[in-house]
Amino acid sequence: MIISIKLHATRAEIDAVCERIADFGYKVHSIEGEERVVIGAVGTGDVTACLESLEAMPQVEKAVRISAPYKFVSREFRDSKTRVRANGVDIGGDEFVMMAGPCSVENERQILESAHGVAAQGAQFLRGGAFKPRTSPYDFQGMEREGLKLLRKAQEETGLGIITEVMSDRDVEMVAEYADILQIGARNMQNFALLKELGKTSRPVMLKRGLSSTIKELLMSAEYVVAHGNPNVILCERGIRTFETATRNTCDITAIAVLNELTHLPVMLDPSHATGKRSLVPALSRAGVAIGADGLIVEVHPNPEKAMSDGAQSLSMPQFGAMMRELKPYVELWKATRVEEAVTA
Amino acid sequence: MIISIKLHATRAEIDAVCERIADFGYKVHSIEGEERVVIGAVGTGDVTACLESLEAMPQVEKAVRISAPYKFVSREFRDSKTRVRANGVDIGGDEFVMMAGPCSVENERQILESAHGVAAQGAQFLRGGAFKPRTSPYDFQGMEREGLKLLRKAQEETGLGIITEVMSDRDVEMVAEYADILQIGARNMQNFALLKELGKTSRPVMLKRGLSSTIKELLMSAEYVVAHGNPNVILCERGIRTFETATRNTCDITAIAVLNELTHLPVMLDPSHATGKRSLVPALSRAGVAIGADGLIVEVHPNPEKAMSDGAQSLSMPQFGAMMRELKPYVELWKATRVEEAVTA
Amino acid sequence: MIISIKLHATRAEIDAVCERIADFGYKVHSIEGEERVVIGAVGTGDVTACLESLEAMPQVEKAVRISAPYKFVSREFRDSKTRVRANGVDIGGDEFVMMAGPCSVENERQILESAHGVAAQGAQFLRGGAFKPRTSPYDFQGMEREGLKLLRKAQEETGLGIITEVMSDRDVEMVAEYADILQIGARNMQNFALLKELGKTSRPVMLKRGLSSTIKELLMSAEYVVAHGNPNVILCERGIRTFETATRNTCDITAIAVLNELTHLPVMLDPSHATGKRSLVPALSRAGVAIGADGLIVEVHPNPEKAMSDGAQSLSMPQFGAMMRELKPYVELWKATRVEEAVTA
Amino acid sequence: MIISIKLHATRAEIDAVCERIADFGYKVHSIEGEERVVIGAVGTGDVTACLESLEAMPQVEKAVRISAPYKFVSREFRDSKTRVRANGVDIGGDEFVMMAGPCSVENERQILESAHGVAAQGAQFLRGGAFKPRTSPYDFQGMEREGLKLLRKAQEETGLGIITEVMSDRDVEMVAEYADILQIGARNMQNFALLKELGKTSRPVMLKRGLSSTIKELLMSAEYVVAHGNPNVILCERGIRTFETATRNTCDITAIAVLNELTHLPVMLDPSHATGKRSLVPALSRAGVAIGADGLIVEVHPNPEKAMSDGAQSLSMPQFGAMMRELKPYVELWKATRVEEAVTA
Output the pLDDT for position C40: 86
Which carries the bigger pLDDT value, residue D292 or residue D51?
D292
Q: Is the pTM of this model over 0.90?
A: yes
- Amino acid letter, residue D136: S
Note the pLDDT of residue A266: 98
Chain A interface disruption, residue of D211, D213, D217, D244, most A CBs within 10 A: D244
Instruction: Name residues 60-89 of chain C within 8 A of D (Cβ).
Output: 69-70
Integer Cα distance of A179 and A152 in angstroms = 8
Q: At what angle do helices C281-291 and B254-262 cross, to 10 degrees?
A: 150
How is A124-148 classified by DSSP, letter by letter? SEEE-BSS---SSTTS----THHHH
**Which pLDDT score, from 0 to 100, does residue C345 have?**
55
* From D212, D279, D289, residue closest to A290, measured CB to CB: D289
Which residues on B lie below 8 Å from D38 (Cβ)? Answer: 2, 40, 66
Least confident of A54-58, B203-207, D112-116: A54-58
Contact B12, B69 (CB under 8 A): no
C321-329 contacts at long range (C-beta below 8 A, 24 or more positions apart): C321/C120, C321/C121, C322/C282, C323/C281, C323/C282, C323/C285, C323/C298, C324/C98, C324/C121, C324/C122, C326/C282, C326/C286, C327/C282, C327/C285, C327/C286, C327/C289, C329/B333
Rounded to an integer, what distance in angstroms lies between the CA atom of residue D253 and that of residue A246?
12
Amino acid at B92: G
D310 vs D166: CA distance, rounded Å: 18
Three-class SS string for chain D? CEEEECCCCCHHHHHHHHHHHHHCCCEEEEEECCCCEEEEEECCCCHHHHHHHHHCCCCEEEEECCCCCCCCCECCCCCCCCCEEECCEEECCCCCEEEEECCECCCHHHHHHHHHHHHHCCCCEEECECCCCCCCCCCCCCCCHHHHHHHHHHHHHHCCEEEEECCCHHHHHHHHHHCCEEEECHHHCCCHHHHHHHCCCCCCEEEECCCCCCHHHHHHHHHHHHHCCCCCEEEEECCECCCCCCCCCECECHHHHHHHHHECCCEEECHHHHHCCHHHHHHHHHHHHHHCCCEEEEEECCCHHHCCCCHHHCECHHHHHHHHHHHHHHHHHHHHHHHHHHHHC
Contact between B144 and B162 under an 8 Å Cβ cutoff? The reply is no
Q: Which residues of chain A have pLDDT under 70?
A: 342-345
Q: Render pLDDT for B212-266 as a digit per residue (tens, 0 to 9).
A: 999 999 999 999 999 999 999 999 999 999 999 999 999 999 999 999 999 999 9
- pLDDT-above-70 percentage for chain D: 99
Closest partner CB to C250 (pick from B250, B287, B292): B250
Given a contact cutoff of 8 angstroms between Cβ atoms, the answer to whether B133 and B167 are in contact is: yes
pLDDT of amino acid B63 = 87
From the CA atom positions of chain A, what is the Rg in Å?
23
Q: What is the number of other CB atoms lying within 10 angstroms of the CB of residue B281?
A: 27
pLDDT for position A64: 84
Residues of B in contact with D45 (CB under 8 A): none
Instruction: Name the residue among D321, D323, D208 with its Cα closest to residue D270.
Output: D208
Nearest to D53 among C69, C193, C305 (CB): C305
Count, residues in chain D: 345
- Mean pLDDT, rounded, for B157-172: 97
Chain A residues with CB-CB distance to C43 below 8 A: 33-34
Compute the mean pLDDT over every residue in chain D, rounded to the nearest whole number: 94
Q: In what order do the strands lie in the sheet with D2-5?
A: D27-32, D37-42, D2-5, D60-64
Predicted local confidence at residue D344, as pLDDT: 63
Position B344 scores a pLDDT of 63
CATH 3.30.70.1140 in chain D is located at: 2-64
Q: Give the integer Cα–Cα distance in Å for C180 and C126.
A: 10
Local structure of residue C234 (DSSP, 8 states): E
How open is the CA angle C263-D240-B270, to the nearest 5 degrees? 55
Indicate where chain D has its CATH 3.20.20.70 domain(s): 84-344
Q: Which of residues 254-283 of C touch B (CB under 8 A)?
A: 254-258, 260-261, 274-275, 279-280, 283
pLDDT of D118 > 60? The answer is yes
- State the chains in contact with A (3 or more Cβ–Cβ pairs under 8 Å): B, C, D
- In chain A, positions 25-44, which contact chain B (CB-CB < 8 Å)? none
CA distance D340 to chain A (A): 12
For residues D26-48, average pLDDT: 84
Q: What is the pLDDT of residue B345?
A: 55
Q: Strands B84-86 and B89-91: what pairing?
A: antiparallel
Measure the CA–CA gap between D206 and C269, rounded to whole angstroms. 35
**Strand, helix or coil at B191?**
coil
How far is it, in rounded angstroms, from Cα B164 to Cα B183? Answer: 5
Strands (DSSP E) along C190-324, which ranges? Answer: 205-208, 233-237, 267-269, 295-299
> Touching check for D7 and chain B: CB below 8 Å?
yes
Q: What is the mean pLDDT of chain C?
A: 94
Smallest CA-to-CA distance from B193 within B214, B170, B176, B210 is with B170
Asked if the model's pLDDT at residue C84 lies above 60, the reply is: yes
Q: Which CATH superfamily is domain B84-344 in?
A: Aldolase class I (3.20.20.70)
Q: What is the CATH number of domain D2-64?
A: 3.30.70.1140
For residue B300, the model assigns a pLDDT of 97
Q: Which among C243, C254, C292 is the nearest to B247, CB-wise?
A: C254
Of A149-158, C252-261, C322-331, D33-42, which gets the smallest average pLDDT? D33-42
**What is the C-alpha separation between C117 and C301, in angstroms, rounded?**
9
Say yes or no: A216 contacts chain D, CB-CB below 8 A: yes
Q: How far apart are CA A257 and CA D246, in angstroms?
A: 11
Whole-number pLDDT of residue D169:
95
Separation CA D328–CA D306 (nearest Å): 29
State whether residue C298 is helix, strand or coil. Answer: strand
Does the structure show a pLDDT above 80 at B167? yes
For the segment C102-123, what is each residue's pLDDT rounded down to a tens digit? 999 999 999 999 999 999 999 9
Taking the alpha carbons of C138, C139, C143, C145 in that order, is the dihedral positive or negative? negative
Tell me if residue A117 falls in helix, strand or coil: helix
Sign of torsion, CA C43 C45 C49 C53?
negative
Give tens-digit pLDDT for C238-261.
999 999 999 999 999 999 999 999
Write the pLDDT tens digit of every residue in D250-277. 999 999 999 999 999 999 999 999 999 9
* Under 8 Å between Cβ of C163 and C180: yes
Distance CA D266, CA B44 (A): 45
- C242 interface with A at CB cutoff 8 Å: yes
Find the closest chain C residue to D69 by CA distance: C136
Span D122-134, mean pLDDT? 96
Residue B190 CB contacts under 8 Å (≥ 6 apart), including other chains: A133, A135, A187, B210, B213, B217, B221
CA angle C135, C140, C146 (to 5 degrees): 130
Q: Compute CA distances A56 → A13, A62, A330, B187, B309, whole Å.
A: 13, 10, 52, 24, 10
pLDDT in tens, B67-116: 888 999 999 899 999 999 999 999 999 999 999 999 999 999 999 999 99
How far apart CA D79 and CA D253 sit, in angstroms, is 22
**Predicted local confidence at residue C198, as pLDDT:** 98
Round to whole Å and give the CA distance between D313 and D315.
7
Can you name the residues that pair with A2 across neighbouring β-strands? A40, A64
- CB contact residues (below 8 A), chain B span 141-160, against chain A: 141
d(CA A294, CA A288): 9
Q: Please report which helix (H) or strand (E) contains residue B63, including its range.
A: strand B60-64
> How confident is the model at residue A45, as a pLDDT?
79
Give the integer Cα–Cα distance in Å for B305 and A50. 10
Predicted confidence band of residue B66 (pLDDT cuts 50, 70, 90): confident
CB contact under 8 A, D253 and A214: no
Contact assignment for A241 to B137 by CB distance below 8 Å? no
The residues near B64 (Cβ < 8 Å, ≥ 6 apart) are B1, B2, B3, D2, D64
To the nearest whole Å, the CA of C186 is away from the closest chain D CA by 10
Tell me how far apart the alpha carbons of residues C298 and C280 are, in angstroms, rounded to a whole number: 12
Pick from B35, B40, B242: CB nearest D40 = B40
pLDDT at B34 over 80: no
Q: How far does B12 lie from chain A, in Å, by closest CA?
A: 16
Q: Work out the pLDDT band at C344, boundaries 50, 70, 90.
A: low
Is D345 a residue whose pLDDT tops 60?
no
Half-sphere exposure of A117 (CA within 13 A, CB side): 23
Q: What proportion of chain B, given as a percentage, has pLDDT over 70?
A: 99
